[in-house]
Chain A
């Protein structure tokens, strides 16, 4: 994306709390940003590396619960608990990944679907640890070191924005690097990637751990924002929501997760007055998008930009390909 568009988006995000007509809108935007961080994580393993991970919501919940339990029950501060949540989701991601990534395609998706459900069951039933259906209360808000009060919505909004910017920045660097290209090669095909000397397990595992850590970060921020969490955080619906955000925004693109998440969160919000009937509008919108822009908002936009740039220089391209064709024909004759 052009640096100008990037700066414009960042500037908009920075002034948004001043444009918002009430605090609730800032809160909705902050929560959209939290989900966007998680969707960026899903984009690593599913978008770039091509492995459909249906346990993503489970890892989000693990991040939320780790932070919640460490602050509410163990008395830790928010910041050390955040580190704890990242570590926990990374380690559990490693352990789940090393088993599940032995499976391919649908089998991997089904396996992780089960992992996600097991995480839900553990949170719901392991009452001694998680308080079961009662959930976790009195979760600590981020400590502001006496400078800011993160229990206020607007400072928390900026905190989440900072994490989101870091998450996107790292994703940008990753996707352009040799490592990101390695993930994409795996998405193109296991056998081809292996024949290019790529160690499948090591690279898939790295992508998986990165994605669960992103989910853990988002979950921990979520817990610090809502301060009360329950087993429903691990509901499989959250995973499917995130997949929808990713598909609408553009899977395997850098801006897709942000556009998809923020877009759908606001559409859902603005249709709130319709209650359950909002799906009557939302459903067909989704169907139209899948038909006319199967690569999502960002993906379709990028294709369109590329073809526009190509068609601006048609003379050059055609002339060149004519020369090549003539050359090849000539050489073919010589050969025959």
Chain B
């Protein structure tokens, strides 16, 4: 599904992502872990087109998307969330989600001026899609509330719904469970499983090890921009290189 070949991103003289190759399989939950500053978010930004890689290739279902801008990447089916999501606080949850489906519509200024059939049809489709995404993340009951009035956990779910409304094939979730309590974390894990059951490929960055070890089908470990390990949770747990990176390798950690 998503194939990354020898991806490198240099910021000045520093390699934020260094020669990383990996393949994310369809219908799996792929996790990326690593210490702070390991280049995980940069890796996501490269895939979603927010940053242009210095070298390497990114293939989505065999199509080269390496140098596409992020709006084009989104059209091809890569949805993503951010660690923080700015939404329109003084508008309802549903209103905030309708724009998620905008990329699948074509209405322009002229359609607005004459209130064309196409615009009406597309607005209904976008609204239905928003409602559907909201039901999917189990937030149907807050559709009419202002974003400013919902909880932190609900905001995170709204961010998922926004990504889902774009009709993605793969979703990149950047620390979805950061700052939520253990029960909520468990319910987020179920939600991700539900996404995969629906046919999506999920790729997430996460620091909560318990969650990752129970949830992920496959884990990639980044450290100092390099891939130091890859495998099933069981393999990662027993990998000495990973243990060293996490529990302090001291001087030779950079090697």
Contacts and interface: CB of A to CB of B under 8 A. Distances in A.
B109 interface: yes
B37 to A, nearest CB: 20
Contact of A299 (B90, B99, B115): B90
Nearest to A187: B88
B220 interface: no
A306 B146 contact: yes
Interface residues of B, number: 51
Interface string B107-121: 111011101000100
A191 B174 CA distance: 14
Contact of A195 (B70, B95, B145): B70
B98 A184 contact: no
Which of B102, B107, B108 counts the most A-chain CB atoms under 10 A from its CB?
B102
B48 A188 contact: no
Contacts of A192: 82, 85-86
A332 B185 CA distance: 9
A161 to B, nearest CB: 21
A191 to B, nearest CB: 6
Interface string A197-219: 11110000010001000000000
B55 interface: no
A178 B119 contact: yes
B102 A178 contact: yes
Contacts of A321: 141
Contact of B183 (A182, A187, A210, A332): A332
Nearest to A332: B183
B50 A181 contact: no
Contacts of A237: none
B60 interface: no
A184 B147 CA distance: 14
A194 B71 contact: yes
B208 interface: no
A210 B182 CA distance: 49
B80 interface: yes
B102 to A, nearest CB: 5
A328 interface: yes
B217 interface: no
Given A177-B112, A324-B141, A197 B166 contact: yes
A269 interface: no
B32 interface: no
Which of B70, B138, B163 counts the most A-chain CB atoms under 10 A from its CB?
B70
A306 B92 CA distance: 10
A331 B190 contact: yes
A196 B166 contact: yes
Interface in A288-336: 295, 299, 302-303, 306, 310, 320-321, 324, 328-329, 331-332, 335-336
B141 A196 contact: no
B187 interface: yes
A179 interface: yes
A185 to B, nearest CB: 5
Interface in B114-169: 115, 119, 122-123, 126, 138, 141, 145-146, 149, 162-163, 166
23 contacts: A173-B115, A178-B107, A178-B119, A178-B123, A185-B99, A185-B102, A187-B88, A188-B86, A189-B86, A195-B48, A195-B70, A195-B74, A196-B71, A196-B99, A197-B74, A197-B103, A197-B166, A198-B71, A198-B99, A198-B103, A303-B90, A335-B189, A335-B190
Given A173-B115, A178-B122, A324-B138, 6 more contacts: A179-B111, A191-B50, A195-B48, A195-B80, A195-B82, A332-B183
